[in-house]
Amino acid sequence: MKGLDEFFHPGSVAVVGASRTPGKAGNTVVSNILEFGFEGRLYPVNPGAGDVLGLRCYEKLSDVPETPDLVVGVLPREKTPDLVLQCSRAGVRHLILPTAGFSDVGEEGRLIQEEILSLAREAGIRLMGPNSIGTVCTSGNLATSIVTLDRIREGGISLFGQTGMFSSGIARWIDTSEHFGISKIACLGNKADVDESDLLEYLSGDVETRVIGVYTEGVRGGARFARVLKDVASRKPVLVLKSGRTETGRRAIASHTGALSGSEGIFAGLIEQAGAVRVGDFEEMFDCARAFEWQPLPRGNRVGVVSITGVGCVLAADCAGEFGLEMPIPASATVARMRESMPRWVPAANPADIWAAIEAFGPESAYTTVSRALLDDDAVDSLVVIFTVIPEAEMDVKRLFERLKEDHPEKPLAAVLMAGDAGMRSQWKRSLETSGFPTYTSPERALRAIGAMWRYAS
């Protein structure tokens, strides 16, 4: 069996079922590949289509002038067995099937899925899907999604799993709301052939991928998955969102991809033993991804917190233990340095409530003095700085974080932009994140991400 690289870096792609009609999946795949600036050869295939989006359209796969490295088959279910036979005859080794209606709809579909799988296995074809929305590879200028995508930002985060969301809504969300970038995306759908373990092995060796995010509804071959996950997680962080925690959830999964979800307890233990990071939802996945992608791993679990507001200190302190973090008491030399921009009468502690310091010395001086002092303390392994985006706190946040990074490039930093003006908040987020400093909407989210890094590191 060949590897998976052609799903992401093919030299040539044929789209079987290419369509001239905008809005049809067979049209969208071709237009996405063009939009992403694919530099290889692209062959639309469809009897009688003439041309598709300015490209010559071939009547049959066998008319294509080379053996394409990758075929995307946008065809109704009943035509898919024949497509696999055509691929087999043409020597194709990689096939993506977006078509739904197989194990995701019940017994009849499951039987057809078994048929195409055994045809593919005989021919040595790696099959992604069926029910796969497609793949994305930013460095390969490729998007095989059947849902319209704009070209997305390149980066070190790769995502895959049993949802089409990664190649559609989530890719759009990341590109329009976030500032990190994507390396590869793969939607596994019913995963008749290519599954989580295959993707993990592939991404483990992929130098472009620094952080992996997985969504799964349940894995087959638990022993192999456990072994592969442990191996990959020892090289790079793997964030796992697993559904099917409850009976109602498992019932919904049966009609989504037909996966068997397995025991929640066994899965939880497996993730923990593998050293992977379990996340509870997509927001938490990207909260963690941001931190892992941009910041160094902490060397210990002791976190410093600086906050404009007492409630920020309290909420951070309240959840620290839950995420395996401690809040050390600063050394007396640290306290003396913090005091340089704090009124005498307020406590200089960790977490540090600096509202009175901001009133007395201004935000720039209060944040800078207190944050640098805390970060310099040997008892502090990471620092979370909490802002409320109000006129009284306006300052150059990016400059503050750059100084902190200069002081201690080995200690992870995070900013919390807690409430305040919406427009100013997204400006601050952009300013910090385009320089590699992750931001969060609440203290809990920031501490959860730092806690995940610590558990991964330790």
* Torsions phi, psi for 32 (to 5 deg): -60, -45
Distance CA 441, CA 418 (A): 5
Considering only residues 255-274, where is the footprint of a copy of itself by CB under 8 A? 255-257
Distance CA 402, CA 385 (A): 13
Considering only residues 322-341, where is the footprint of a copy of itself by CB under 8 A? 322, 326-327
- The one segment of 33-41, 52-60, 84-92, 389-397 that binds a copy of itself by CB under 8 A: 389-397
Beta bridge partners of 62: none
The binder of a copy of itself chosen from 68, 129, 156, 164 (CB under 8 A): 164
Considering only residues 166-195, where is the footprint of a copy of itself by CB under 8 A? 168-170, 172-173, 176-177
Considering the complex, state which of residue 224 and residue 256 has its C-beta at the smaller distance from a copy of itself: 256
Q: In this structure, how many other beta carbons lie within 10 angstroms of the beta carbon of residue 251?
A: 12
Question: Residue 109, interface with a copy of itself (CB under 8 A)?
Answer: yes
Are the C-beta atoms of residues 445 and 287 closer than 8 Å to each other? yes
Q: In this structure, how many other beta carbons lie within 10 angstroms of the beta carbon of residue 282?
A: 18
The binder of a copy of itself chosen from 42, 313, 338, 446 (CB under 8 A): 313
Query: For a copy of itself, how many residues bind (rule: CB under 8 A)?
Result: 80
Angstrom CA distances, 59 to 29, 92, 104, stand at: 17, 17, 30
- Helix (H) and strand (E) counts in the chain: 16, 19
Distance CA 346, CA 88 (A): 75
- What stretches of 48-206 adopt beta strand conformation (E)? 51-52, 55-56, 70-73, 94-96, 126-128, 135-137, 142-143, 154-161, 182-187
Considering the complex, state which of residue 396 and residue 410 has its C-beta at the smaller distance from a copy of itself: 396
Question: Residue 223, interface with a copy of itself (CB under 8 A)?
Answer: no
- The one segment of 48-56, 192-200, 370-378, 440-448 that binds a copy of itself by CB under 8 A: 440-448
The binder of a copy of itself chosen from 51, 318, 396, 407 (CB under 8 A): 318
The binder of a copy of itself chosen from 281, 378, 407, 410 (CB under 8 A): 281
Considering the complex, state which of residue 93 and residue 242 has its C-beta at the smaller distance from a copy of itself: 242
Considering only residues 283-302, where is the footprint of a copy of itself by CB under 8 A? 283
The binder of a copy of itself chosen from 46, 113, 309, 368 (CB under 8 A): 309
Distance CA 401, CA 398 (A): 5
Question: Residue 105, interface with a copy of itself (CB under 8 A)?
Answer: yes
The binder of a copy of itself chosen from 148, 365, 427, 435 (CB under 8 A): 148
Are the C-beta atoms of residues 402 and 377 closer than 8 Å to each other? no
Distance CA 320, CA 318 (A): 6
Burial (CB < 10 A; 0-12, 13-18, 19+), residue 151, is middle
Shortest Å, Cβ 396 to a copy of itself: 18
Shortest Å, Cβ 39 to a copy of itself: 25
Considering only residues 396-425, where is the footprint of a copy of itself by CB under 8 A? 418-423, 425
The one-letter amino acid at 212:
I
Considering the complex, state which of residue 142 and residue 147 has its C-beta at the smaller distance from a copy of itself: 147
Shortest Å, Cβ 348 to a copy of itself: 10
Cis bond leading into 10, ω under 30°? no
Strand order in the sheet with 142-143: 142-143, 135-137, 182-187, 154-161, 211-216, 238-242, 277-279
The binder of a copy of itself chosen from 34, 356, 379, 395 (CB under 8 A): 356
Considering only residues 224-243, where is the footprint of a copy of itself by CB under 8 A? 243
Considering the complex, state which of residue 378 and residue 392 has its C-beta at the smaller distance from a copy of itself: 392
Which residues are CB-contacts of 197 (< 8 A; sequence separation ≥ 6)? Answer: 219, 221, 224, 225, 228, 229
The binder of a copy of itself chosen from 234, 246, 263, 434 (CB under 8 A): 246
Considering only residues 58-97, where is the footprint of a copy of itself by CB under 8 A? 77
Shortest Å, Cβ 151 to a copy of itself: 14
Shortest Å, Cβ 77 to a copy of itself: 8
The binder of a copy of itself chosen from 389, 416, 450, 452 (CB under 8 A): 389
- The one segment of 48-56, 191-199, 204-212, 438-446 that binds a copy of itself by CB under 8 A: 438-446
